[in-house]
Structure formats: structure tokens, C-alpha cells
Amino acid sequence: MDLNKMGQRAVSAKYELQKLSSEKKRHVLLAAAKELIADTEILLEENRKDIRKGEENGMHPGMLDRLRLSKERIGAMAEGLEQVAELEDPVGKVLEEFVRPNGLKISKVRVPFGVIGIIYESRPNVTADAFGLCFQSGNAVILKGGSDAINSNMAIAASIRNALKKNGICQDAIQMIESTDREVTSRFMKLNQYVDVLIPRGGAGLIRSVVENSTIPVIETGTGNCHIYVDEYADPDKALPIIINAKTQRIGVCNACESLVIHRSIADRFLPALAQALQSKNVEVRGDEMVCGLIGNAGKASEEDYGREYLDYIISIKTVETIDEAIAHINKYNTKHSEAIITENKENARKFLNEVDAACVYVNASTRFTDGFEFGFGAEIGISTQKMHARGPMGLKELTSYKYLIEGEGQIR
């Protein structure tokens, strides 16, 4: 496993990719989509190896389902590439232009990062998705998938590499790390010489491990302990459907609501109806004293509950005296992902928008909208929960950097 060689090959590829025209990139992505379809039988066969191994190891049925490919899922992967092919090429856009008093003409131009590393877990479709976004934004990508999906991932990458070769593009635009050795992953995270940015995609454990061990700049994604605050001026007819949607429409995602904060002056009117709605969706409630008093079957929430991303049919509820207390609670426990206020009071809405520290702050809408497609970015590589570089949904633009081009006629200092 010569990671340095992989790094060098990725760097060679990046210089080629940054020169490709938008039209050529579009053409190649469409060709890669076709190649995946043509290789359906091979992909299914390789995927069966992973499934068999998973079954032997007693993998959880939900995990097995995430791992499994089908003709339809391969079709969806190909479609994903076709969609990215139609998105606007972000590379080369002039972001700013100015002339200095000494005559230097400075322009700030969007450029690819160069080489992006992605470390991800079980779902093999990420292989094609990540390639599509990186390629369209002019970047070479080195992928490290989960060991569970290694055969599927290698087959998908091989198929894409074939499409690249047929189109005269350097195959190393996509490279998959074949080893499933943890020590290799650990060395990969220190490949600063070749890799410009590392993006982990997966559970909280994976992301923490990458943040702690990588010396390459990391874009942290995905952990979401998202709150909805029901203000004293909330319209219950908006609050209820928003909470039910944010909590239960899809429980396992990072933009699902995990915790409610409720103004005490509205609690006795609102909580009984809420309890009924949550119960009808089989959501377990863990709350403070007031909540337990108003909701019969609610359990007592511990400090730890308020900090948890359940990804399950559980919700914590905290009551507060003031909007300031609500904001302080949210800023203490949230993961800087998505937070919402339900209110008809414009001043409180403005205050919440300004003072809550999160990538996305909502008024009267579900936190589930934090998503590259919902934001109109056409696709996303993840939701950034850090403040450096990109925050919130990351589309093609967020996979780029910029450089300054300075034109002179002999200027010196």
C-alpha cells in the first residue's frame, strides 16, 4: 500500500483536471454514468461478496440494507452523476477584481482545491457521488471506504476509471485505497504533502477520529443535535407539524430534531397536544420537571440527554422562562448544525436568528431543510458543522478554493 505513490498520482491528475473544459467534464461524467450501468452485473457480483461477508459476520439487517446494491440503486448512482454533470462548473469564476493605485491589476479567481481525500462508511453509492462532485469541481479524489464495502467500492471505482480511460482522462482522478487496515487510514490522514482537504462522512465516531488524527485540514460534517424552540408567541398550528416533521420524517439523519425547548407560558397549552402527536408516532419523551408534570409518560431527562443526537424515536424537552434562556441552552448543547424558532413575534425571530450559533437558523420551518438539494445547490458532499471554509450544506462551490492573479508592468516595492 504505497500511499505516497497514490498521492503523487493524485497530484499529477489534479494538474490535468484543473485544465479541463466544462464541456469535457460534463461529457466524462455522462460517460461514467453509462459505464456504471453497463457494469451492473459486475457491480452486483462484487457487492454479493460484501453482503455474504456481512451476513457471516452477523451484520445488522439495517446495515446490510445500506450495503446492498441493486439494479435500481446502480441506476440511481448513475443518475446522480448525470445530475452533477448538468450543474454549473464553479471553476474559473472571477470572484473579485480590483486595480491598486500602483497599477497592479488583482483578480480573485475560483480554483479547485486540487486533491480531496474522503473517508466514509458502508454505503457504496458514496463512491460514485463523491467522485462526481469532486470531478465536476476539478479535483482529484482519493477515497477510503469502509472495509464492509471494499469489493463494491473497488468495482465502482474500477468502472469509473474505465470510463475515464476511454475518454482520455487520467484515471487517477479517482483512486480507492484498497487496504482496510486502520494503520493505512492513519497514514492517509497525514498525507499533507499531497492532499489539500480531508472530508469524513459517517457517524460521530468516525468524524471525531479524523478530527483528532488528521494533520490535513479537515471539513467536519454531519453531527446534528438540532433544536426547535417553541416561543411564547408560537402559532401551535405551525409548531406541531414542524416538530413532527423534523423529528419523525426520517429519524437517522443529521438534520432531524433531537430536542425541544418550550417557553413556560405556552407549555400547559401546548404540551398535551404535542404529547399526543408524538405518541401517535411512537416518540419517547424525556423532559424536565414541568414536562414530566404535563406529559404523563415522559421520562426524566438527564444533562446527558440534552447533549445527545438520538437518531431514534426519542426526543428531549426543556422548558424555559425567557428566550434568552432558550438561546443559552441551545448554544450550550447544540452541535452548530440547524436550529429553529417557532414564533409570530418578529423581534424574537430576529434575536434568535442573530444570537444562535449554528450553520442554519430557521424561523417557522423544519430543520430537515438543511440539505444541498433543498437549498438549491443541486447536490451536496455533506453538511459542515465547523466555521472554517464552509458552513452548512456543501455543494460544488464549497469544494473549491481561490487564487489571486496579479498582473503588473514591472512594479516593485
**Nearest partner of 383 among 223, 276, 196, judged by Cα:** 223
Instruction: Kindly state the smallest distance separating residue 374's Cβ from its own copies, in Å.
Output: 7
Minimum CB distance to its own copies smaller for 36 or for 358:
358
Alpha-carbon distance of 286 to 283, in angstroms, equals 10
Is-contact 97 108, C-beta < 8 A?
yes
Q: Identify each DSSP E strand in 299-337 by its residue range.
A: 299-300, 314-320
Q: How far is the CB of 290 from its own copies (least distance, A)?
A: 26
* Interface ranges with its own copies (CB under 8 A): 15, 18-19, 98, 100, 104, 106, 113-114, 192, 196-197, 211-212, 215, 217-220, 235, 237-238, 241-242, 245-246, 249, 331, 349, 353-355, 357-366, 368-370, 374-376, 386-389, 391-392, 401-413
Least CB distance to its own copies at residue 114 (A): 7
Cβ proximity to its own copies, 81 vs 233, nearer residue? 233
How far apart CA 260 and CA 238 sit, in angstroms, is 14
286-298 core/surface letters (b: 16 or more CB in 10 A; e: else) = bbbebbbebbeeb
Q: Measured from the CB atom, is 110 or 286 closer to its own copies? A: 110
Minimum distance between the CB of residue 22 and its own copies, rounded to whole angstroms?
15
State which residue, 316 or 370, has the beta carbon closest to its own copies: 370
- CB-nearer residue toward its own copies: 31 or 349: 349
Q: Give the burial class of 304: count Cβ atoms within 10 A of its Cβ; 0-12 exposed, 13-18 middle, 19 or more buried.
A: exposed
Q: Nearer Cβ to its own copies, position 7 or 114? A: 114
Measured distance CA(360)–CA(320) in Å, rounded: 22
DSSP bridge pairs for 394: 382
| Closest separation in Å from C-beta 8 to its own copies | 10
Judge contact between 91 and 137, C-beta under 8 A. Answer: yes
For the bound state, the minimum distance from the C-beta of residue 53 to its own copies, rounded and expressed in Å, comes to 34
Considering beta carbons, is residue 51 or 360 the nearer one to its own copies?
Answer: 360
* Buried/exposed code over 231-255 (b: 16+ C-beta within 10 A; e: otherwise): bbbbeeeebbebbbbbbbeebebbb
- Number of Cβ atoms within 10 Å of the Cβ of 399: 25
Give least dist CB 149 to its own copies, A: 28
